[in-house]
Amino acid sequence: MKKTLTVVTLLAAGASQAAGIAIDAQGGRATGMGSTGVASMKDASSIYYNPAGILGVNKLDIQLGDSLILGHLGFTADATGVEQTQDPMSPPPHGYVVYKITDQLAAGVGVFTPYGAKSKWPEDFVGRRIARESNVATFDINPTVAFAPMSWLRLGVGFQAVYGTLDARRQIVVPAGPAAGATGELALSTSTWGLGYNAGLQADVLPGMLTLGAHFRSRVLMFLEGDADFSDFPAAVAPAFPDQDVRLDVELPATLGLGVSFTPLQQLTLAADVNWVQWSSMRQLLFEFQSNPEFNQPSVKNWEDRWNFHVGAEYKVTAALAVRAGFVYDPTPSPEETLAPDLPDEDRIRVALGLGYAFSAFRVDAAYQFISLMEHRSTFTPLPGTYQGSAHVIGLTLGYSP
């Protein structure tokens, strides 16, 4: 029997909050302001948004939170005209600790999930031979230090230790031989560590009124290794699909953020960010099977670099109470001809609302984002059709600053 089959990645962006597989809901205050933060964040969450901002803490700032992402993704295949849906849920956490050593020096560490997605299509999904179920997550441990060489200028740098995992499942069809057409299942489980860095600056052009910021986060190479388990094949062909080691090389993209924060009134802060994401690092995805290299066939993606755009506002009703709002336009990096159910994605419009309340040394920042996944036509040859959907993000961050 000729043992040839296409094995593509089983990542899926159904429950990612931003385009591609990005997640930028990494703090309740920023999430409520449309995920702005390059120039406007000056607390412990700046470890993610711009490390220079950690110099804005008073002495000690601790934050712990989570962002529950509830997605609804639909796909209508041209061949059937029937829509099939999934409703993935993902709860990426975040936590930060920052200590201000002197007026000019601060240090801290953050843990967050900058990339991740979760997807589960129904058992009878028309594209089950391409993707059925997957769960990908990256956990970033980000020690950070910031220094102010001048009163109006803050510089920050951080080191990234990223742990990534991928668990996935799909249907396999026996391609030839006496059992041709019979099906089985492939389950993949891989993980690895990767390293990177981030750096940023904030400059008070008009102290107390206008701040400019820039933030760069490096690419991270991930060489995932793990197990490929084949099951449920007919006994006659099961030996042709042995369990084995598998490897997948992925490059998480570099990003560049530029931001401005404007405070025309003491109670009002306006913010705007533009972020460039080097999605072109995702040219193709290839699982390499160590015992059966004939199984190796690339899944071409040819993603394109993209800019996304954020605006946000915060109004302090009282010294303790703040209300927030924001808007985001986040275009997909995926071209129509490579858009497949293993990495479904659409242009996104996001509307954000937030509320913050401080009492004594404690504070609570709650946020909500509604995400419209705009209809995206796929001309992917094996499975053309249309993707569309929506998502809800509910964020909550607890803070402590004595």
- As given in the structure block, the two tokens for residue 180 are 């041709």
Count the helix, strand and coil residues of the chain and give each as a percent rounded to the nearest 5: 5, 60, 35
Q: In Å, how far are 7, 207, 374 from 166, measured between CA atoms?
A: 15, 46, 27
- Name which CATH class applies to 28-400: mainly beta
CA-wise closest residue to 359 among 307, 305, 320: 320
Residue 305 clears pLDDT 60, i.e. is over it: yes
The pLDDT, as a whole number, for residue 316 is: 97
Tell me the average pLDDT across 237-260: 92
Q: Alpha-carbon distance 332 to 339, whole Å?
A: 10
DSSP string, 261-296: EEEEETTEEEEEEEEEE-GGG-SEE-EEESS-GGGB
Mean pLDDT, residues 281-291:
82
Mean pLDDT computed over 308-328: 97
Q: Is 292 in contact with 175 (CB distance < 8 Å)?
A: no
Query: Alpha-carbon distance 126 to 110, whole Å?
Result: 41
Asked if 87 contacts 71 with a C-beta cutoff of 8 angstroms, the reply is: yes
Q: What is the pLDDT of residue 13?
A: 39
Residue with tokens 């990494």: 26
Residue 70 has pLDDT above 90, yes or no: no
Q: Which of 115-119, 142-146, 290-294, 372-376 has the highest mean pLDDT?
A: 142-146
pLDDT at 11 over 50: no
Under the banding of pLDDT at 50, 70 and 90, the label for residue 16 is low
**Backbone torsion region of residue 211, taken as left when φ is above 0, otherwise alpha when ψ lies between -120 and 50, otherwise beta:** beta
The three-state secondary structure class of 239 is helix
Whether residue 17 contacts residue 137, with contact meaning beta carbons closer than 8 Å, is answered with no
Of the candidate ranges 167-181, 223-237, 366-380, 385-399, the one whose mean pLDDT is the lowest: 167-181
Dist CA 15 CA 36 (whole Å)? 21
Local structure of residue 176 (DSSP, 8 states):
S
Task: Determine the 3-state secondary structure of 338 from DSSP.
Answer: helix
How do strand 83-86 and strand 210-217 relate by DSSP bridges?
Answer: unpaired
Contact, 74 vs 237, CB < 8 A?
no
Contact 307, 275 (CB under 8 A): yes
* Top-confidence range, 284-288, 318-322, 335-339, 372-376: 318-322
Q: Which two tokens stand for residue 141?
A: 């441990």
Residue 353 burial (C-beta neighbours within 10 Å; 0-12, 13-18, 19+): middle
pLDDT at 51 (0 to 100): 98
Does residue 264 carry a pLDDT above 60? yes
Span 40-64, average pLDDT:
97
Output the six-digit token pair for 278: 């080097």
pLDDT, tens digit, 9 for 90 and up, residues 134-181? 788 899 999 999 999 999 999 999 999 999 998 888 888 887 777 778
* CB 17, CB 31: distance < 8 Å: no
Torsions phi, psi for 336 (to 5 deg): -60, -35
Q: How confident is the model at residue 17 (pLDDT cuts 50, 70, 90)?
A: low
pLDDT score of 2 more than 60:
no
How many other CB atoms are there within 10 angstroms of residue 379's CB atom? 12
Q: Write down the mean pLDDT value for the chain.
A: 89
Does pLDDT of 231 surpass 70?
yes
Please state the pTM of the whole predicted model: 0.89
Per-residue pLDDT at 192 exceeds 70: yes
The whole-angstrom separation of Cα 33 and Cα 42 is 14
Which residues contact residue 108 at a Cβ distance below 8 angstroms, ignoring those fewer than 6 apart?
44, 47, 54, 61, 96, 97, 98, 99, 143, 144
Residue 3 has pLDDT above 80, yes or no: no
| pLDDT at residue 263 in the model | 97
Q: In whole angstroms, what is the distance from residue 197 CA to residue 218 CA?
A: 6
The phi and psi torsions of 286 (rounded to 5 degrees) equal -145, 115
Q: For the residues 284-311, what does the mean pLDDT come to?
A: 86
